[in-house]
Amino acid sequence: MSLRKQTVIITGGNSGLGYESAKQIAKFDNNYVILACRNAVKAKQAVDSLIQETNNNNITSMELDLSSLESVRSFAGEFSKMDFPPLYALVCNAGVQFIDATHYTKDGFEMTFGVNHLGHFLLVNLLLDQIVPEGRIVVVSSGTHDPLKKTGMPEPAFTNPQALAHPDTVSSKEGIALIGRRRYTTSKLCNLYFTYELAERIKQHTDKKITVNAFDPGMMPGTGLAQSYTPILKFVWNYIMPVMTLFVPNVNTVRQSGRALANLVTDGKLSQTTAKYYEGKKEIKSSIFSYNNDNWKSLWSASIKMTKLEQAETLLKI
């Protein structure tokens, strides 16, 4: 990162992975850190805690609800009016998973797809022209998108974006818990499609050298991802599974994964590294599914229509 003051935005930075990465980034060189969060009260509490832990007073929060395209546009508009240092990095960290029922965004899209992909898609495009020429975008994906990883999660099912945004919940014979987990793994595959297509478009359509990389934090027991789990499953997630961090590969504490995520923002050696996928600090290949160029473009085209993105709102030719 540059010696002059710059700004980093982290979605969902009030807890878990986002909080830990924000802490490490704030400690790095006293840069400005913005926690972009849906819950303003929890975000303010996180800001106060981070300032105390890092001795960096350049930490604040702004309200952002990724399940509302209006909120995303409002956030981008408000940020452009604020007197922050230049925007250096955008960390697309926030994510949801539901195994209890089908939930929908305020715009009528299935919630997992809407928050994990669509909200971030629009946010990145709206902020792209404000990111410094050698800035960074990091998209938090997951190893669960890759069946070969044997994570215990169902294989993603990317058929077409419309089916993800507006699923036929009546005809499915799968139980809602399995459906919810599959929606999550598919959304994480979409994160990779977005990462690779965005990196390619930045190369083709702008003079900027903005890097775009994806990150797998590994399994992090104890985080808020289990919000819709049953009480028994929540107990296992919060109190039993954390023991696995001691002996199972890529099962990490939030602190371990937070440090690795922050590294993708702060490590000077990665200034020209783009369109890559990281498991912690290690660059690896993503799943064979993730390199389907046709799916990259199909998702991009559909996302433009769903978010009603106008050409004037992005640096990229859409």
Instruction: Say if 212 falls within a structural domain.
Output: yes
Percent of the chain scoring above 90 in pLDDT: 81
Q: Would 114 be classed as within a structural domain?
A: yes
Tens digits of residue pLDDT in 157-203: 999 999 999 998 765 668 999 999 999 999 999 999 999 999 999 99
Nearest to 23 by CA among 251, 276, 265, 280: 265
In a domain, 2, yes or no: no
Q: Report if residue 210 sits inside a domain.
A: yes
**197: domain range?**
7-313
Residue in this structure with the two tokens 């540059």, named with its chain if needed:
2
- pLDDT score at 260: 95
Residue 314 DSSP one-character state = -
Write phi, then psi, for 31 (nearest 5 degrees): -75, 170
Residue 298's CATH number: 3.40.50.720
Examine residue 318 and state whether it is found in any structural domain, yes or no: no
pLDDT at 3 over 70: no
Inside any domain, residue 1 = no
CA–CA separation, 216 and 255 (whole Å): 14
The closest of 246, 239, 206 to 223, measured between CA atoms, is 239
> Is 0.85 topped by the overall pTM?
yes
Hey, what amino acid is at 252? N
- Please check whether residue 281 lies inside any domain of the structure: yes
Q: How confident is the model at residue 84 (pLDDT cuts 50, 70, 90)?
A: very high
> How far, in Å, are 76, 85, 92, 102, 264 from residue 255 at the CA level?
29, 27, 18, 31, 15
Q: Give just the sign of the alpha carbon dihedral 115, 298, 90, 19.
A: positive
Cβ count near 283 (within 10 Å): 12
Coil/strand/helix, residue 311: helix
Domains held by the chain: number:
1
At which residue do the structure tokens 């009260």 appear?
Answer: 41
- To 5 degrees, how large is the angle CA 129–CA 134–CA 137? 70
Tell me whether residue 73 is in a domain. Answer: yes
Question: Residues with catalytic annotation?
Answer: 184
